[in-house]
Structure 1
Amino acid sequence: MVNNSVKSNGGSGKAYVILMIGILALAFTAPWVKQSNFEPATSVLLRCGIGLLALLPFALREAKKIGGLNKSGIILSILAGLFLGIDFTAWNYSIFYVGSGIASILLNIQIIILPALAFLFDKERIPKSYYIIAPIMILGVIMSGGVFDGGGSTEGPATIYGINLAILGTICGLVSGCCYGIYLYTSRKASKVNAGQIIQPMAWATAAQLVAPAIFMLFFSDRGFDLTNGVLVNGALPMNPETTLGDPITAMNWFWVLVLGIAGQAIAWTFVQYGSVRLDSTIVAGLLLLSPVSTVAVIAVLLFGEIPSAIQILGVVIVLGAVAYQNNLHASLLRKLRGKKSDKETDVKQVS
C-alpha cells in the first residue's frame, strides 16, 4: 500500500503520465494480437516470452535496489500469472472470433468476479448494488458479443466446430474475463505483501503465463507451436478455420508480435500497475475505461473496419456503464459537481 503523501505529492503528475502510457498500450493490445496473426496459444507464448526478456533486467535492478520478493509475494505472483495465461489464451481466440474491439469489452466481466472472490476469501462486504449490476453486466456482455444478432459487419464463417461463432467468441471472452478477475484478486494480494515492488511481481507473473498456452497447445490444439502460418486469410477468418491455415507468417507479423511483447506486455502492465498504486483508485478505474472504449470505438474501426451492430453498441454502453457504476465513478462525479457548486455559492456570498 502507498501512503497518502505519495499520492498527493508532485510525483502524482509522473504517475498520471505513466498510467496513461500504459492505458494507451493496453488499448492497442487486441489490435496488435490481430495484426501479428499468430495462432492464439503461440501468440501468448511469444508475447509473454518477449515480455519476460524485456522485464528481466529491470526486475533484477529492482531486486538489488529495494530487495527481492518474499515467499508469499512469489507464490501469489505465480498464481496470478497462471490465471492470466488462461485469460490471454481464451482472449486471443475471442479476438479472432468476435473482433478486437468486442473482445476488449467482454474482458470487463471481471468486475463481477473480483468482488465475489474478495467476499468468499477475505470476507469483504459486497454492496447491495452488486446484485443489481451483476445481471445487467451479464446481459450487456451477451449483447456485446453479438449472440442475439450474430455480430456486426464481420467477414468469415457463421460457425466453428459446429458452434455459432458469436456464441463461441463470447464464451471465450467470458472465460478470459473470469480469469482476469482472479488475476486481479491474486495480484492485489501480492502487492500488499510486497509494497513498493512492481516489476518483480510482473516478471514472475509473466513467466507463469507461459504455462497455460503450453498445456493448451500440447493437449487441446491441432496446430501446436506454429511459427509458419497464422489464423486470418487476407484479414478475415477463412470459411473453414478448423482445417484451413491462415496466411504465412511474414516479417511484419514478427514486428507486431515484438511490439505486442514489449509494449503490450512489459510496458502496459508495469506502467498501469505503477500508476494504480500511486493514484486514487476511483480515478484509476475511470481512466482504465478509456482503454476498451478506445479499442472498440476508434482503433478496431479504423484498423479493421469492425463495425458493431446496434445491439452490440447498446451492449457496450451497458457494460461500460456497469463498470463505471460499480467503481463509484458516478459518486465521484457528483461530489465534484457539488464541490464546484458550493465553491460558486461561497464566491457569490463573499462578493455580496
Structure 2
Amino acid sequence: MNIIQNPGPVYSQLLIVTGALLISLSPVFVVLSGVSATSSAFYRMALSLPALFLLLFLTGGKLWLGMRQCGIALLAGIFYTLDLTCWHQSILLIGPGLATILGNFQVFVLAAFSVFVLHTRVTLRLILAIPVSIIGLYLICGVQWSAASDDFQLGVILALTTAFWYGGYVLILRMLQTSFDLEGKIANLCMVSIFTTIISGLVVIGSGDTFSVPGVGSWLYLAGYAVICQVIAWLLISIGIAHTTPIKVGLILLLQPAGAFIWDIFIFRLPFTSVTLLGVVITLGAIYLGSTSTSPGERSETG
C-alpha cells in the first residue's frame, strides 16, 4: 500500500507504463463494440462509474473535496469528452493504429506547456522533433492525401485535433491529482468521470445519435473498455502522474500508440506499405524526441 500511496519516481513511471499498455487496448474495444463514436465515449465513462464508486467506498474516501476540485474536474471532463469523441470517430474512419499514433502528437502539447509555462529550456531534441514529425506525418498521410477519401482526410484531421484535447486533459489531470492521496485521486477520477458521462451524454443527444447497443457481446466489450481502460489504467496513471514530469509522462504514453498499431496489424489485419511503416517509425521517433527534450534540471523534478 505504501507503493500506491507514495510510489516515488521509479514506481510512478512503472505505474504509468502499465496504464499506457492497458490503454493501448482502447481502440480495439471501440471497434469491436460496434457502437458509434459518441456512444462509445458515453458508455466508457458511464460503465466506469460503479467500479470507481466501489473503489472510493473501499478506500474510505469521500467524493466532494471542494469547489476547486470540482471546477478542475469539470474542465477535465470537457477536455476528455472532446478527446474521446474526436478520437473514437477517427478510429472508425482511419483505424485504431493510425488514429492513436496521430492522437499522441499530444506530446508536443505537453512540450509546449513545459517550455512556455514551466520555462523549460528549449533543447536540440525538441527543435529536431518538429520537422521529423512533419516528415513522418507526410509519409503516413501526405503521400496518398490527394487520392485519399474524404473519410480518410477527416479521420486524420480529427486524430490530430485529438492530440490537443488529449494533451490538455493530461495536464489538467496532473494539476488535479498532484496534491491528493490515493483516496483523493480516486475521488477526482470519480468526479471527472461523472462530468464526462454527463457531457458526452449531451453530445450523443445533441448530435442526434443513439444510445442503442447491438447485443450482449457489445455490452461485454464496452464493459471491458470501461473497467480496463478507464478505471484500472487511468487509476494507475493518476497515481504515477503526480510524481512524474509532463514530458516524461508524454514519453511513457508513447507506449499507447505503439501498442495500438500492433493490435491493429494483428487483430484487424491493417494493410500497410513500406512507406507507411517508415512514416510510423519516424513519427514515433519524433514523439520520442519531443518527449525526452528536457533540460537536466527538469529531469530531476519528480513532484
- The TM-score with structure 1 as length reference comes to 0.72
Match of 2:206? 219
Unaligned runs of 5+ in 2: none
Q: Which amino acid aligns with 2:106?
A: Q
Report sequence identity in percent.
Answer: 21
C-alpha contact (below 8 Å) 1:47/1:257 kept by paired residues = yes
Cα RMSD for the two superposed structures: 3.3
Listed one character per residue, the Cα deviations across residues 292-330 of structure 1 (whole Å, up to 9, x for unaligned) are 21221x211111001333332222222211221122289
Which structure ranks higher in relative contact order (CA pairs < 8 Å, sequence separation ≥ 6)? 2
Secondary structure of the equivalent of 2:35? coil
Q: How far did residue 103 of structure 1 move?
A: 1.1
C-alpha contact (below 8 Å) 1:28/1:295 kept by paired residues = yes
Separation in structure 1 between the aligned mates of residue 249 and residue 114 of structure 2, nearest angstrom: 19
Distance verdict in 2 for CA 1:136–1:259, change over 3 Å: same
Q: Which amino acid aligns with 1:315?
A: G
In our comparison, the structure showing a higher alpha carbon Rg is 1
C-alpha contact (below 8 Å) 2:48/2:230 kept by paired residues = yes
Separation in structure 2 between the aligned mates of residue 173 and residue 295 of structure 1, nearest angstrom: 14
Separation in structure 2 between the aligned mates of residue 126 and residue 203 of structure 1, nearest angstrom: 36
Distance verdict in 2 for CA 1:67–1:253, change over 3 Å: closer
Tell me if 1:263 matches 2:228: yes
Tell me if 1:80 matches 2:39: no
Q: 1:179 aligns with which of 142, 145, 165?
A: 165
Tell me if 1:288 matches 2:242: no
Distance verdict in 2 for CA 1:70–1:82, change over 3 Å: same
Separation in structure 2 between the aligned mates of residue 79 and residue 281 of structure 1, nearest angstrom: 18
- The TM-score with structure 2 as length reference comes to 0.82
Listed one character per residue, the Cα deviations across residues 101-147 of structure 1 (whole Å, up to 9, x for unaligned) are 11110111111222334555x35345144444234334434543x34
Counterparts in 2 of 1:109-258, with a 5 A limit?
109-118=105-114, 122=117, 124-125=119-120, 127-129=122-124, 130-144=126-140, 146-149=141-144, 159=149, 164-194=150-180, 196=182, 197-221=184-208, 224-228=209-213, 249-258=214-223
Q: Which amino acid aligns with 1:165?
A: D
C-alpha contact (below 8 Å) 2:79/2:165 kept by paired residues = yes
Q: Which moved more, 1:77-86 or 1:134-143?
A: 134-143
Tell me if 1:307 matches 2:271: yes
Match of 1:275? 240
Question: How many residue pairs get matched?
Answer: 291
C-alpha contact (below 8 Å) 1:109/1:141 kept by paired residues = no
Separation in structure 2 between the aligned mates of residue 313 and residue 303 of structure 1, nearest angstrom: 17
Distance verdict in 2 for CA 1:74–1:141, change over 3 Å: farther
